[in-house]
Structure 1
Amino acid sequence: MRLSVASLALAASTALPALAADPVALHCERLFDARSGKVLGEHTIVVEDGRIRSLLPGRAKLPDGTMSIMLAGRTCLPGWTDLHVHMGGQSSPQSYSEGFRLDPVDYAYRSVGYANKTLQAGFTSVRDLGGEVSPHLRDAINQGLVEGPRIFAAGKSIATTGGHADPTNGHNSMLSHLIGPPGPTEGVINSVDDARQAVRQRYKEGSDVIKITATGGVLSYAKSGDAPQFTVEEIRAIVDTAKDYGYSVAAHAHGTKGMKRAVEAGVTSIEHGTHMTDEVMRLMKQHGTWYVPTIYAGRFVAEKAKIDGYFPEIVRPKAARIGAQIQETAARAYRGGVKIAFGTDQGVGPHGDNAREFVYMVEAGIPAAYALQSATLNAAEVLGLDDQGVIEEGRRADIIALPGDPVADIEAVLGVDFVMKDGTVYRTPERE
Structure 2
Amino acid sequence: MSHPPLHLRGVLLDGTAEGEHVGELWVTAEGRISRDPVPDAETVVDGGWILPGLVDAHCHVGIGPDGPVDLETAREQGHVDAAAGALLLRDCGSPIDTRPLDDDPRMPEIVRAGRHLARPKRYIRGLPIDLEPDELPAAVAEQARANPWVKLVGDWIEREAGDLAPLWPDDVLRAAIDAAHAEGARVTAHVFGEDALPGLIGAGIDGIEHGTGLTDETIAMMVERGTVLVPTLINVENFPSFADAAGEKFPRYGTHMRELYERAPATIAAAVEAGVRVFAGTDAGGGIEHGRIVDEVAALAGVGLGPARALAAACGDARAWLGRPGLVDGAPADLVAVEGDPRADVDLLRSPSLVLRAGTRL
Provide the TM-score with structure 1 as the length reference.
Answer: 0.74
Per the alignment, in what secondary structure is the counterpart of residue 162 of structure 1?
A: coil
Structure 2 Cα separation of the partners of residues 270 and 282 of structure 1: 14
Are 2:2 and 1:34 equivalent residues in the alignment?
Answer: no
1:219-230 to 2 correspondences below 5 Å: 226-230=164-168
Unaligned runs of 5+ in 2: none
1:188-267 to 2 correspondences below 5 Å: 188-191=130-133, 193-203=134-144, 206-216=146-156, 226-267=164-205
Per the alignment, in what secondary structure is the counterpart of residue 63 of structure 2?
A: coil
Match of 2:107 in 1: 148
Structure 2 Cα separation of the partners of residues 45 and 266 of structure 1: 41
Partner letter of residue 190 of structure 1?
A: E
Change (3 A) 1:233 1:305: closer
**C-alpha deviations, 1:61-90, integer Å up to 9, x for none?**
x46523322244x32111111111112234
Structure 1 Cα separation of the partners of residues 313 and 170 of structure 2: 29
Per the alignment, in what secondary structure is the counterpart of residue 38 of structure 1?
A: coil
Q: Give the paired residue count.
A: 356
Per the alignment, in what secondary structure is the counterpart of residue 257 of structure 1?
A: coil
Cα RMSD between the aligned structures?
Answer: 2.8
Unaligned runs of 5+ in 1: 1-16, 56-61, 169-185, 428-432
Match of 1:116 in 2: 79
User: Does the CA contact (< 8 Å) of 2:6 and 2:27 recur in 1?
Assistant: yes
Per the alignment, in what secondary structure is the counterpart of residue 110 of structure 2?
A: strand
Per the alignment, in what secondary structure is the counterpart of residue 378 of structure 1?
A: helix
1:154 Cα offset (Å) = 1.8
User: Does the CA contact (< 8 Å) of 1:327 and 1:360 recur in 2?
Assistant: no
Match of 1:268 in 2: 206
User: Does the CA contact (< 8 Å) of 2:144 and 2:184 recur in 1?
Assistant: no
1:10-409 to 2 correspondences below 5 Å: 18-19=2-3, 23-28=5-10, 30-35=11-16, 37-38=17-18, 40=20, 42-48=22-28, 49-54=30-35, 62=37, 64-72=39-47, 74-91=48-65, 95=66, 106-133=69-96, 136-137=97-98, 139-144=99-104, 147-164=106-123, 167=126, 187-191=129-133, 193-203=134-144, 206-216=146-156, 226-302=164-240, 304=241, 311=245, 313=247, 314=250, 320-347=258-285, 348-383=287-322, 385=323, 387-388=324-325, 390-409=326-345
Structure 1 Cα separation of the partners of residues 182 and 317 of structure 2: 24
Are 2:360 and 1:418 equivalent residues in the alignment?
Answer: no
Change (3 A) 1:305 1:235: closer
User: Does the CA contact (< 8 Å) of 1:298 and 1:325 recur in 2?
Assistant: no
Instruction: Among all aligned residue pairs of Structure 1 and Structure 2, give the percentage whose two residues are the same amino acid.
Output: 25
Per the alignment, in what secondary structure is the counterpart of residue 331 of structure 1?
A: helix
1:167 Cα offset (Å) = 4.5
**C-alpha deviations, 1:190-230, integer Å up to 9, x for none?**
33x411221244257x434200011126xx99975632221
Runs of 4+, deviation exceeding 4 Å = 165-168, 220-225, 314-319
User: Does the CA contact (< 8 Å) of 1:239 and 1:249 recur in 2?
Assistant: yes
Structure 1 Cα separation of the partners of residues 279 and 163 of structure 2: 23
Partner letter of residue 266 of structure 2?
A: E
Partner letter of residue 415 of structure 1?
A: S
Change (3 A) 1:157 1:42: same
Structure 2 Cα separation of the partners of residues 229 and 71 of structure 1: 54
